[in-house]
Structure 1
Amino acid sequence: MESVQAIKQRFEIIGNDIKLNRALEKAVQVAPTDISVLVTGESGVGKESIPKIIHSLSHRKHSKYIAVNCGAIPEG
């Protein structure tokens, strides 16, 4: 299991906030599982990084990663 510092270096994440570190720890924790993960947060906080980290640490890392912006999908 990769450390938080190693993940920050690998994905070029800058910062040492406790909430950031906790989010990265959770990403490492859920990566080997087969559960769905919903990433939420304010605009501009880097929500796209967490799923990439989870994918790269999962057993599906050799499959294609497809990001979907659910907020951009119209209701109808």
Structure 2
Amino acid sequence: MSITCISCHQTTNQLNPTQADITQQPESGEWGVDLLLVCPHCEQQYSAWVLNWDVVPLKGITANSASTPTHHQTHEVNNP
């Protein structure tokens, strides 16, 4: 599957991640991942919100595994 960028009109199969913050929506209290993705051709930014229960762990990889890149490691969030 591919998408066409709304800015440069190039087709791409991948958007580059620039931000992935775990946040809580003030309106609903739902926790999720606030994503910022950019077009690899022109840097057009796209935003996405993924609810926490839609995030699926990869099998065979743990947060403390030596094979897990540091930017993919998880951090615990303390609920107030």
TM bracket, shorter-chain basis:
under 0.3
Q: Give 1 or 2: higher helix fraction.
A: 1
Q: Give 1 or 2: higher strand fraction.
A: 2
Higher RCO by CA contacts (8 Å cutoff, separation 6 or greater): 1
**Structure 2 length normalisation: TM-score?**
0.22
**Structure 1 length normalisation: TM-score?**
0.23
Q: Which has the larger radius of gyration?
A: 2
